[in-house]
């Protein structure tokens, strides 16, 4: 079962720094991430999501490959690739992988402009080592699906860095 953790940082670069560190920890097999998204709020109040993977681009690449393959079979590879890329991009844009976009936008609406929320979907982790590594970045826990004791440990670890 995966756990969702949402942490508010004062700036987007700080949230990006933490996300990059989590990705490095994943390479060290200390954490397994299902998704990691940064949400920011503009001065105009618009919420922008910075996804790890663009499903639109992935869909376009996949669609163009299959369209090219089908186009070769029917002796018109260019039209097949174009139609495949367009339909793949549309399918990718409509696909929501990982954390629900609407949920993230609704939660991020509560932050101050300029702040950033790092949403992390954790599949598994070595909690003591990961917390020790990211605690010095600080941040404020906005929401988690962790049980109360684990959530309090996370809050305490991040609180030490901000005070």
Residue 158 banded pLDDT, cuts 50, 70, 90: confident
| Residue (of 3, 4, 13) closest to 116 by Cα position | 13
Write down the domain spans for the chain.
2-162
Query: Which position has the higher pLDDT, 90 or 127?
Result: 127
The rounded percent of the chain whose pLDDT value lies above 70 is 69
Contact 92, 59 (CB under 8 A): yes
Mean pLDDT of all residues in 1-11: 89
- Provide the token pair at 11: 């700036």
Three-state helix/strand/coil letters over 72-97: HHCCCHHHHHHHHHHHHHHHHHHCCC
Q: Does position 82 have pLDDT exceeding 70, yes or no?
A: no
What's the pLDDT score for residue 110? 86
Query: Which position has the higher pLDDT, 61 or 74?
Result: 74
């Amino acid at each position: 079962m995966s756990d969702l953790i949402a942490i508010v940082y004062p700036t987007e670069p700080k949230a990006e720094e933490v996300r990059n560190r989590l990705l490095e920890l994943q390479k060290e097999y200390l954490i397994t991430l299902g998704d990691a998204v940064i949400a920011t709020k503009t001065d105009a109040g618009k919420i922008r999501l910075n996804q790890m993977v663009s499903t639109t681009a992935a869909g376009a690449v996949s669609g163009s490959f299959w369209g090219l393959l089908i186009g070769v079979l029917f002796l018109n590879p260019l039209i097949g690739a174009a139609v495949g890329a367009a339909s793949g991009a549309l399918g990718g844009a409509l696909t929501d992988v990982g954390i629900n976009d609407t949920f993230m936008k609704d939660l991020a609406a509560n932050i101050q402009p300029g702040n950033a929320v790092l949403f992390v979907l954790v599949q598994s982790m070595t909690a003591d080592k990961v917390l020790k590594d990211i605690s010095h970045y600080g941040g404020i826990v906005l929401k988690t699906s962790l049980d109360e004791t684990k959530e309090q440990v996370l809050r305490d670890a991040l609180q030490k860095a901000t005070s």
